[in-house]
Structure 1
């Protein structure tokens, strides 16, 4: 028996070596693919289903990252070995990954991969906040590039989503278990909702799809000559179909990038020629949208390349702010912002830089963030991100700039209000101008050199003198080196040169009309009439309409119509565009009372017979205040209209002038009126001061209560995360114990059957 066992082991070893060599030969000179599998609660069953359907000689290596109890001895390696004929190992530090093998992460460790070797780390995050799947998949993407494959199976939370983004960026393959077949569907749903899944299927079907994809990819790689005329024509047809469907022109994108992304889609659909894919696109409009998103490569994360962001905050922004001690508006543009992480990172970095400058200047931050992908812009506007952004955002920044909401974080209101998102094609649409900062990271690398030469002068034009240009770590300004001077060449931070102008104006081709906007009607027939109407309206507004101002609910002037100098004048000192500060003598008190009244009652109010002191005289007028309900953009604002009144003619009385007694009586009457008004004003001020003190006291109490509730909420959130992590670990331990109990039960049944079926006395010696 022992001889047969030895021979069997030797045969098995020989088969493994043959399989390994086959796997390597199949991959040609390229490194063999490595499949990173992430799982959590309910993952044992899914892993067993997955591995049972993997051939022993697939030529692939499988690395399993499972959430495990850090205090419990794991049996996962032993349990999975029963489900596969491949060798299964618990990973050790610097263990070399080989094909046709399975590697399992040990408990209480984080794992990474470098040059095909596994490296183990002590976890640096507290229990409940660890993201071991993201940690490994990111390193796998860097190590294996387009030979990396990410798989997400059953589990709770969102661990793995950021790692899949990294694999997607490197043109690797992403597969996700069908949520309906997972015991816990949070992790699969997180990956799917992020738009990262190339294939979604039950766990047992995923191995076959991986092998089909790789087999097709190898076929394309083995027969990949330079593009023939027929293939070039098919590639151009794909670009035309994209343009017709989305309105975006990819003809100036790098051909290799387009071809590589098309081949990925062809591999998923098992199509051998680009011409076949063109026909597939024609019959499946949804595939055009999927290819469009594939070409956009919307992969980003918060504070990508942390060293570059730190330099931007501490040096580039600090120097920019020091040159503007008077404060003002700081304008920035994030080009190709994807789902908003980069734009919000910029807002946070600017906010931190503003808090560090001394003396503190009054700056307002205005960031424009644009992208081609409307879905990505919608996600950015929502400002909600999964909990695994904690891998990129420090705990201090999460506390200061984010609000925990559900299983993730929502960007704080203050940061959100700094950023304006919009869909825009930087190649076709007009740029934003007068910018202090322009961030364009990892966009130029996908564009043809001739297009880069056009975009860089455009960026130069958009920036103010001394403005900052922030590029990705693989991008440069060598195509327009005379326009920018490096702040730090390695980290791709540049400053606009003031003395050099572009040699020629930027000239982009006209934008192709999107079919979604082709329903617009021709306006040439009514052009003359509309011009006549607009000119007449403008003439009426200038010469015959009463002066008016539009203010917000704080009284800040937003728009002025007509000449208002008789009623308003700038106040001395620092510029102040508040109407109460600018109202002339005789108007300010009544206007303030009426303004607050119209906001409360939401009805128009007219102040009649006011007398306003003007330069060298006075003016009688009526003032109408009205809140605005429509249009939506102006709702809540107040329109204030001034109507001049003619001075009443003085009535001449016959006879001599009034007697001194009459004059004295009139003076006394006026003095009494003034005294009464002063007393009323004094009383009103005291009441307002009392109300302000009460409101201040109430506000302090509410603020104190809010801080206590926030502290309690943070404690509950931490407890919830710890309990969730513990629950996942217990689920895994329970599954392992259950599997072990099943095995012991089968062994017990076998022994009982043996004893019942024989009458031979059996003695067990221990």
Structure 2
């Protein structure tokens, strides 16, 4: 047996059994491929999937076992409650790494194939619920492999193939039986001598592609790409271009490069697809964990220590793809900043340092995905539970990055080879991008990064990248992990000047002195009624003085309703139009309404009088100034809780005395200022109260929202558990349905067998009720379909055998065979044999009665029965 060079991973879930059978049934006997099938299985139920699939194909179907080597033209099936991955061409079984509802076994298989087989890996997604398989297909596609999905319209459950297709990681979409043809064509093209010769000619050009005869093979394709996409790939490594072009050729079943060039010229969409193919988006959260550990433990704390004077630090992730790298950096920066604040002894204080991360990529689709910030459930394999809980929100189909992380990152479509770089940076992460560029382009980019970084800025490269000849620009922090620090060549005075200006600007703080009121306290003593005789001269004089010479005043309740009026208040109060309304807020003239509305709210809490000097009111076209005094009444008891408002006219200054006029003007200005300040203070107080009420309402809403979010998370978890259980039940149901079909077929075979041997047989259960009979038995005992389940004693027959029921009962009790020769009413003779009915599990479950007619054929029939 030959070891498989190309491995096909097949993922299926609910409804996938039928699709698997159709696909495997359409495979030829010789494919040269090894097939690994992973289906969502119930963890606590045995699986008969290998036996069911074996009926659909002549290829050997084997359950996966630890260390089992993959052979060509063999099919391997996962086992319950185990992850199946392929390492060094062998099966590796391991317990699930996640809870059952979050487990993504198809993604795990596909990722292992992409890592181990690269271009020789193939992924197929069939019917199923959820999104398992999409991330794995993306990994296979990024590695240069071939990806397929079942046509959603032909799938019993279309969620899995639809999700993979929507993610843009599927090269071929077809019905399950047609996918077998696509796999066979892919295998044939891989081994095609024409394609092998073409690839060999491509690989002869190992230098950067320029317009020379040796590199003329790829030059037309590069020109078409530059014309249609406005991007130049001439400085990409030829090996990268070769692999991606070869992959697109295999998808279109082409073996000649000239045919593919014609396709590019005729089909602009294919040029766009090739452009996306060349933008390799291999990324993930916390990829190369040792790098991020070193960055968090040492590099970032030292960078924060050296940048204490800066209020904001800037980072740039070059070639961010779908955003995982940028968000990983953001999480590490937050943790490092919090650790620095904790080490400073003020963990509760807000960190004075903020981060701004710029993340750029050439692919608009990748940038759109990064901005959405939604990632599959499989990220739980690389992101810790603590980080998942803090930085992500669980959704139905995956995890979404939280707002605090999303706001730190600015995503932009950016061509690092053509557009100006971001500058004044403290950190640049450019991982696994330089490996796709030739040496000349790398020598251009590294000085660009040096220019963009501030002094002592950090540069992070990929595991296969280095600064090379530019070691004078960057000094290694950890060469093994590809961490470098910017090396200053000379004193950058302009940079220092900018930093000094930034610090000075940050220290400019505009402050406004607190406003204070200029209201003087004045006590207004209410006039108590005299106990003298109302008709006395003193009482009359008091009343006259109050009406004529005392200032106008009103007594109101806390709501502003007028209780009592003293003096002439017509200058200050005016009845409102419409229905009579004795509320001071409705009757106050313009200029008084606002201050009265404000002061009445505060008067109840004051023990002293509140004064508003110099208020202006309009009366008959003239402006009148009025001093208003407001006093809460506490004595006598009858007036307790009420408010007294006193109005006093202010005399108008004459123009004769300029000095007096000037002093009066200054006094009026002071009064106006006092009024404005008091109004401002009142507005501030109202605003403060409003903020407190809004804050209280916001806290209540936030608490309610948290409760609803908690309930929603519980419902989501329950839904995921039900969905997972439903998938398992669908798988079990498919296997049970297959068993039922087999049983129905076996029953049909048994019935045809019994009827074909023409022996009268009667089956009885433990209660001697009719269970089954042959057609020939119905001619001896009067039986029909409705008699199934009837007692034997209720049936009539042509046999002269009244002890038949008794003998059957005795055989059931003693397990001793009974055999007698009995005549019928029409003088025929039968050998009646009564035997116990023994099941496969060795349990007696009734009796079997056979009737052999004694005639010329009897010896042969008897021999058959014996």
Structures share fold, TM-score greater than 0.5: yes
Q: 1:494 aligns with which of 484, 495, 500?
A: 484
CA distances 1:469-515 after superposition (whole Å, capped 9, x unpaired): 1122222222322221222222222221123799xxxxxxxxxxxxx
**Offset at 1:751?**
0.9
How far apart are the structure 2 equivalents of 1:574 and 1:435? 19
Q: Give the 3 Å change call, closer, same or farther, for CA 65–706 of structure 1 in structure 2.
A: same
Provide the aligned C-alpha RMSD in A: 2.9
Provide TM-score, normalisation by structure 1: 0.74
How far apart are the structure 2 equivalents of 1:327 and 1:439? 20
Tell me the secondary structure at the aligned position of residue 746 of structure 2. Answer: helix
Q: Which moved more, 1:315-324 or 1:377-386?
A: 377-386
Kindly indicate whether residue 387 of structure 2 is the aligned counterpart of residue 397 of structure 1. Answer: yes
How far apart are the structure 2 equivalents of 1:692 and 1:717? 35
Tell me the secondary structure at the aligned position of residue 95 of structure 1. Answer: coil
Kindly indicate whether residue 385 of structure 2 is the aligned counterpart of residue 386 of structure 1. Answer: no
- Per residue, is there more helix in 1 or in 2? 1
The equivalences for 1:440-459 within 5 A come to 440-459=430-449
Kindly indicate whether residue 314 of structure 2 is the aligned counterpart of residue 328 of structure 1. Answer: no
Residue 281 of structure 1 corresponds to 264
The equivalences for 1:42-53 within 5 A come to 42-53=15-26
CA distances 1:78-127 after superposition (whole Å, capped 9, x unpaired): 11111111111111112222121111111011122211111111113112
**Offset at 1:583?**
6.9
CA distances 1:250-309 after superposition (whole Å, capped 9, x unpaired): 000011110111111111212222122111111111110111111111232222222222
How far apart are the structure 1 equivalents of 2:222 and 2:656? 97
Kindly indicate whether residue 739 of structure 2 is the aligned counterpart of residue 740 of structure 1. Answer: yes
Q: Give the 3 Å change call, closer, same or farther, for CA 657–187 of structure 1 in structure 2.
A: closer
The equivalences for 1:371-382 within 5 A come to 371-382=361-372
Kindly indicate whether residue 715 of structure 2 is the aligned counterpart of residue 716 of structure 1. Answer: yes
Residue 13 of structure 1 corresponds to none
Bigger relative contact order, structure 1 or 2 (CA pairs below 8 A, ≥6 apart): 1
Residue 407 of structure 1 corresponds to 397
Kindly indicate whether residue 147 of structure 2 is the aligned counterpart of residue 174 of structure 1. Answer: yes
The equivalences for 1:692-703 within 5 A come to 692-703=691-702
Q: Give the 3 Å change call, closer, same or farther, for CA 37–686 of structure 1 in structure 2.
A: same
Q: 2:280 aligns with which of 252, 274, 297?
A: 297
Tell me the secondary structure at the aligned position of residue 225 of structure 1. Answer: helix
**Offset at 1:404?**
3.4
Aligned length: 602
Asked if structure 1 preserves the Cα contact closer than 8 Å seen for 2:24 and 2:57, the reply is yes
Asked if structure 2 preserves the Cα contact closer than 8 Å seen for 1:483 and 1:501, the reply is no
Asked if structure 2 preserves the Cα contact closer than 8 Å seen for 1:39 and 1:154, the reply is yes
Tell me the secondary structure at the aligned position of residue 321 of structure 1. Answer: helix
Residue 575 of structure 1 corresponds to 507
How far apart are the structure 2 equivalents of 1:444 and 1:365? 25
Q: Give the 3 Å change call, closer, same or farther, for CA 190–394 of structure 1 in structure 2.
A: farther
CA distances 1:576-633 after superposition (whole Å, capped 9, x unpaired): 66xxx467999xxxxxxxxxxxxxxxxxxxxxxxxxxxxxxxxxxxxxxxxxxxxxxx
How far apart are the structure 2 equivalents of 1:298 and 1:584? 56
Tell me the secondary structure at the aligned position of residue 490 of structure 1. Answer: helix
How far apart are the structure 2 equivalents of 1:695 and 1:225? 72
Q: Give the 3 Å change call, closer, same or farther, for CA 47–500 of structure 1 in structure 2.
A: farther
Residue 157 of structure 2 corresponds to 184
Q: Give the 3 Å change call, closer, same or farther, for CA 63–573 of structure 1 in structure 2.
A: closer
How far apart are the structure 1 equivalents of 2:121 and 2:356? 39
Asked if structure 1 preserves the Cα contact closer than 8 Å seen for 2:395 and 2:716, the reply is no
Q: Which moved more, 1:340-349 or 1:99-108?
A: 340-349
Residue 658 of structure 1 corresponds to 659
Residue 226 of structure 2 corresponds to 243
Residue 100 of structure 1 corresponds to 73
How far apart are the structure 1 equivalents of 2:696 and 2:468? 61
Asked if structure 2 preserves the Cα contact closer than 8 Å seen for 1:145 and 1:172, the reply is yes
**Offset at 1:427?**
1.0
Asked if structure 1 preserves the Cα contact closer than 8 Å seen for 2:198 and 2:256, the reply is no
How far apart are the structure 2 equivalents of 1:207 and 1:390? 33
How far apart are the structure 2 equivalents of 1:446 and 1:664? 84
Residue 68 of structure 1 corresponds to 41
Provide TM-score, normalisation by structure 2: 0.66
CA distances 1:672-715 after superposition (whole Å, capped 9, x unpaired): 55554454344334333332332332222222222222222221
**Offset at 1:406?**
4.2
Q: 2:196 aligns with which of 217, 221, 230?
A: 221
Asked if structure 2 preserves the Cα contact closer than 8 Å seen for 1:301 and 1:342, the reply is yes
Kindly indicate whether residue 241 of structure 2 is the aligned counterpart of residue 258 of structure 1. Answer: yes
CA distances 1:713-739 after superposition (whole Å, capped 9, x unpaired): 221121111111111111100011001
Unaligned runs of 5+ in 2: 205-211, 345-349, 493-501, 516-653, 762-834, 841-866
How far apart are the structure 2 equivalents of 1:114 and 1:446? 26
Residue 134 of structure 1 corresponds to 107
How far apart are the structure 2 equivalents of 1:109 and 1:234? 48
How far apart are the structure 2 equivalents of 1:446 and 1:667? 79
Q: 2:289 aligns with which of 306, 321, 328?
A: 306
Residue 29 of structure 2 corresponds to 56
CA distances 1:225-255 after superposition (whole Å, capped 9, x unpaired): 3447878323100000000000000000011
Larger Rg: 2
Residue 175 of structure 2 corresponds to 202
How far apart are the structure 2 equivalents of 1:276 and 1:84? 36
CA distances 1:543-584 after superposition (whole Å, capped 9, x unpaired): xxxxxxxxxxxxxxxxxxxxxxxxxxx9x997366xxx4679
Tell me the secondary structure at the aligned position of residue 481 of structure 2. Answer: coil
Q: Give the 3 Å change call, closer, same or farther, for CA 657–269 of structure 1 in structure 2.
A: closer
Q: Give the 3 Å change call, closer, same or farther, for CA 275–584 of structure 1 in structure 2.
A: farther
**Offset at 1:425?**
1.3
Asked if structure 1 preserves the Cα contact closer than 8 Å seen for 2:97 and 2:381, the reply is no
